[in-house]
Amino acid sequence: MQNIIRGKAYVLGDNIDTDQIIPAKFLSYNPSDPSERRYFGMYAMDGVPAGQMGLPNGNIRFVRPNEFKTDFTIVVGGKNFGCGSSREHAPLAIAEAGASIVIAEFYARIFFRNCVNGGYLVPCESVERLVEKIHTGDELTVNLGTCKVTNETRKTSHALKPLGDVAPIIEAGGVFQYAREAGMLKS
């Protein structure tokens, strides 16, 4: 896990659910097959309604059509990010697209755990509502050590909640790697 994450923001609203993050019609791809796994990135956020895509403009796609990677490293969401089904493919899709962190006011519990357990994304919680203060395309610097996100474009800084007990699991790259490193599982 990087302590400093820099990149462009992609801003979404409240209640972004797992079917919006990766619609069920794309679950036929096999995440264990590298040639198919990349399609999760291609279709990440494909189910987000046009009015929510890249708020406030409402028309900026997370991944351009027929591409596998996004220009956005940091996803900023509102309340209840990752709600809906327990689809573990949702954080995988965001990560496969090239994002490495999601900042939200709060998460659906299972999405948060899937981010951590799979080692896909760093799930940070904001102290304040950021979806009106950060815009899609803003250049951000997230410092996980100081629990701060700096909007380089707008020259503002905002506090993040500490990662707490999940930090070592994220640092290890997921729950299984953490268990191996801690001697709980055989290598």
Q: What is the pLDDT of residues 52-98, one digit of tens each?
A: 777 666 789 999 999 999 999 999 999 999 999 878 899 999 999 99
**How many whole angstroms separate alpha carbon 47 and alpha carbon 21?**
6
| Residue 22 maps to a domain | yes
- What per-residue confidence (pLDDT) applies to 1? 66
Radius of gyration of the chain (CA): 16
**How many whole angstroms separate alpha carbon 92 and alpha carbon 151?**
26
| Residue 125 maps to a domain | yes
Q: Of 132, 170, 118, give the one whose Cα is nearest residue 5.
A: 170
| Residue 26 maps to a domain | yes
| Residue 100 maps to a domain | yes
Indicate the number of domains in the chain.
1
| Residue 186 maps to a domain | no
Residue 2 banded pLDDT, cuts 50, 70, 90 = confident
**Per-state percent for the chain, helix, strand, coil, to nearest 5:** 30, 20, 50
| E strand or H helix at 36 | helix 34-42
| Residue 117 maps to a domain | yes
Give the pTM. 0.94
| Tens digits of residue pLDDT in 117-129 | 999 999 999 999 9
Q: How far does Cα 36 stand from its chain's mean position?
A: 20
**How many whole angstroms separate alpha carbon 153 and alpha carbon 50?**
25
Q: Which range marks the domain in which residue 116 is found?
A: 4-181
| Residue 187 maps to a domain | no
| Burial grade of 59 (CB within 10 A; 0-12, 13-18, 19 or more) | exposed
CATH of the domain at 142: 3.20.19.10
Q: Of 40, 132, 152, give the one whose Cα is nearest residue 94.
A: 40
